[in-house]
Amino acid sequence: MEKKRIVDEKSKDEQLEMVREDPEREFLTTNQGVRVSNTDISLKAGERGPTLLEDFHFREKLTHFDHERIPERVVHARGSGAYGYFQVYEPMKEYTSAKFLQDPNKKTPVFVRFSTVVGFRGSADTVRDVRGFATKFYTEDGNYDLVGNNMPVFFIQDAIKFPDLVHAIKPEQDNQIPQASAAHDTFWDFVSCHPENAHMIMWVLSDRALPRSYRMMEGFGVNTFRFVNSEGKGRFIKFHWKPLLGIHSLVWDETQKIAGKDPDFNRRDLWEAIEMGDYPEYEFGVQILEEEDEFKFDFDILDPTKIWPEEDVPIKWIGKMTLNRNPDNFFAETEQVAFCPANVVPGIDFSNDPLLQGRLFSYLDTQLIRLGGPNFQEIPINRPLAPVANNQREGYHRTTINKGKTSYFPNTVGENLPRPASGEEGGYVHYMEKVEGKKIRSRSEKFKDFFSQAKLFWNSMSEPEKKHIIEAFHFEIGKVNDKNIRKAVVDMFNNVDGDLAIEIAKGVGVPAPEKKGGSPVTKESPNVSQERSERNVKNTIKTRKIAIIAADGYNHNDVSQVKQALEAGGAKTHIVSEHQGMLKSSSGEEIEVDKSYVTTESVLYDAVYIPGGKENVKTLKMQGDAIHFVNEAFRHCKALGATGEGVELFKAANLPDIQFAGKESVDKEIPLVSDKGVVTAVKEGDRSDFNKSFTTAIAKHRHWDREKKEQVPA
C-alpha cells in the first residue's frame, strides 16, 4: 500500500511537469488556472468610470503583490520620518468643507515620511529613484493621508500594471541584482513595452531623481482628487508641496560617492536639521479645476502620466507645513506608520483616475499583512486624535478594550450606539457623481497620447539639464545587456524627440533611428525645470554646509570673518584638515578641527573655502587630499572661495578657465574676482565684499557654466 502511494505521488509530479511543459502554458492565467484576456486595464464602468470590485483578476493580482514582502514594505522600504504641524493661510470654505483647511490659527499635527521607492531597507539614500512624500494629517475629523511622490506623474495609467512595473524594476529574479537601481534589462524591457511611461522616464532621468535633501524636494499628490464644499459642489484638484529652501539636486557623480561615504546622507540631513532647529518648511498648494472644464484640454485630467501645466491651471498656495520634531523610536514610528490614500476626511474625495482607484484598495491590503492584521490603526503612530467608535472587534494585536454587549448596528441593547452621523453632523458623504457605462476594459482616447508631455518636459529643460538627462540615458541603457532592448528604447524615445534619440543611441552602441521622429509639441512649462523655474529659491544659504580647509598657520582673521558671515546667513561651517584636534593660526589663536579628510569629503558639502596664511597654504599644497577636495567640488560645479594666500591653492589645483584675484601686471592688481562661482580676494583686512560675493555664489547652488568634468582630475 505504501509503495503504491509513492508511485502515485511520483505520477502526480510527472503529470505536473507535463503541465509545466505544455505549449499552452504561454497563456497568462489567474492563480486558479483561468486564462486572462487582459492584464493591462482594469474593469471599469465605461472608459472613464470607476474601477469595479468584481474584477477578480485585478483583485487577485494586487492582493498577491501586496503580500510579497514580509515585513518590509514592497516599495518605499527605506524611509525617514518627522513630526510637525500644518496651518492654512485663509479659510477654504468656498472649495472644501475639510475643517483643517478653514482656521488659519489652528495647527494640525502631521507626520511625514520621505522614502526611496525601489531599494531595500539597507540601500543607500542617494540612488537615482523617485522619492515618496507621504503626509498624515491628524485632523479633528480623523486622519487624512496625502500619499505622494517628488514627481507629479507616474509610470503607468492603471493600477493593475503596478505589480508588473515593480517586478520589472526590482532586482532581477535569477540573481537579485542590481540593488536599488533601474539600470538593468528587465526594467528597460518593461519601459520599451509600455510607451505610456515615456513622460515619467524623462522625470526619473532628470536631476529630480537626485535630491540634495528631503528639505529641498517638491512633493506632489500625483493623482486627481476632488474638493467638495458644504453645498456639495465638487472641483477637481492636484496637490503640491513646495520647499521654502528651494528645489535643489545632487549630481550623478556625487550620488555614487556619497553612497559610499555616507549612505544615510538624506536621512542624516533631515534628522540633523531638525535637531539644530533648522525646521524644514513646505508651502501647500492646489491646482483647482472646475468640473465644467474637465474636457477642455488636449490631455485627460484623470491620466496620472500627465501634469496639469501651471500655465493652464495655476497653483493656489493655501498653507504651510513645518517639521519640528524627530521621532523617538524609528521602528515604532517611522517603520510602523501606515499610509493609505483612502484615508480622507469630509471635503476631500476621489476622482475616477484609474491609478488612484487601485491605490485605494492596495494600500490597505498591504498594511494588513505588513503590520500583522486589521488592528494596525491602533499602533500609536497610526492612531487618530479624533475619537474612534465602531463595531469592529478582535483580530491580531487588538489593544482597545471595548465595553458593553453590542458589536452591531442597529441595536436596542446598547441604545443604538454608535450610530452613523448625517452630513450635517460631520458624517462623510461621498460626492454624488453620475456613473453609467458598459463593463469594459478600455481607456479613453486621450490616454493614448504617450509622448506629447514627455516632449513638453524636454522642451522645458535648460541646456545643462538636457545634458544630464542624456548622460543618465547613457548610464541606464548602457547597463542593459540585451542590445535589442537598447535599440527598442532608442526607437521609443524617437517618438519624443529625434535629436534626443540620436544622442541616446550615440552613447549606448546601437544605431540611431533610420528616420528622425519626434512629437510636434513646441510648448514649454518652465516651472518643471529646476533651473528655469521662477518659483525656485536661489537667494539663501540657509542650512547649507561649507567646508573650510585649513592647516597650521592659517589666517585667523580670514577664518573668523568668513565663518561669522556664513553662519549669520544660516549656513553651517566645518573646519576640515588632515587630522582632527587643534590648529594654530599664524597669530597664535587656535581652532578645533571638525572633520578629517578620512571622515569626510567634498561631496558632503555645498561649498569650499580656503583661508590665507603662508604656512597654511604651503602645507595644503603638499596634501593631495586638499587639492582633490578643491578639484572635486569644482567638478561638481559648487561655489569655491579663497582669500589671501589661499588663492594659490586654487592655482595649484589647475582649475581650468578661471580668472583669479591678484596681480595682472606689475602695476595692476584685481582685489576681488567672482568667476563662474569661484570667488577670490587677495587684500588683507575687511572681508565684507568677499563674503557678499561668496554668499551669492553659494545660494546659486550650482554653476553649470564651468561643467568641464573631463578637464578636472577628480
Query: Does 19 score more than 90 pLDDT?
Result: no
Residues 555, 652 within the same domain: yes
Domain boundary among 497, 528, 559: 528
Residues 290, 349 within the same domain: yes
Query: Does 2 score more than 50 pLDDT?
Result: no
**Other C-beta atoms lying within 10 Å of the C-beta of residue 632:** 22
Residues 562, 478 within the same domain: no
Residues 515, 554 within the same domain: no
Residues 476, 601 within the same domain: no
Q: What is the CATH number of the domain that holds 329?
A: 2.40.180.10
The mean pLDDT of 52-66, rounded to a whole number, is 87
Q: With contact defined as beta carbons under 8 Å apart, do 694 and 562 qualify?
A: yes
pTM for the predicted model, two decimal places: 0.91
Residue 3 pLDDT class (50, 70, 90 cuts): very low
Q: Measuring CA to CA, how many Å separate 531 from each of 23, 132, 238?
A: 54, 22, 23
Q: Which domain holds residue 497?
A: 451-528
From CA 87, how far away is CA 102, in angstroms rounded? 9
pLDDT score recorded for residue 70: 60
Structure-block grid coordinates of residue 162: 503596478
What is the tens place of the pLDDT at every residue in 155-192?
999 999 999 999 999 999 999 999 999 999 999 999 99
User: 526 φ, ψ to 5°?
Assistant: -55, -25
Active-site positions? 76, 149
H or E stretch covering 490: helix 483-493
pLDDT score recorded for residue 143: 94
In Å, the largest CA–CA distance within the chain is 111
Q: What is the CATH number of the domain that holds 507?
A: 1.20.1370.20
Would 435 be classed as within a structural domain?
no
Would 657 be classed as within a structural domain?
yes
pLDDT score recorded for residue 18: 52
pLDDT score recorded for residue 64: 82
The mean pLDDT of 25-46, rounded to a whole number, is 84
What is the tens place of the pLDDT at every residue in 585-641?
999 999 999 999 999 999 999 999 999 999 999 999 999 999 999 999 999 999 999
Query: Does 7 score more than 90 pLDDT?
Result: no
The mean pLDDT of 277-301, rounded to a whole number, is 97
**pLDDT, mean over the chain:** 93
The mean pLDDT of 259-277, rounded to a whole number, is 97
- Structural domains in the chain (count): 3
Residues 642, 563 within the same domain: yes
Domain boundary among 382, 414, 441: 382
pLDDT score recorded for residue 352: 95
Residues 207, 251 within the same domain: yes
Structure-block grid coordinates of residue 135: 503626509
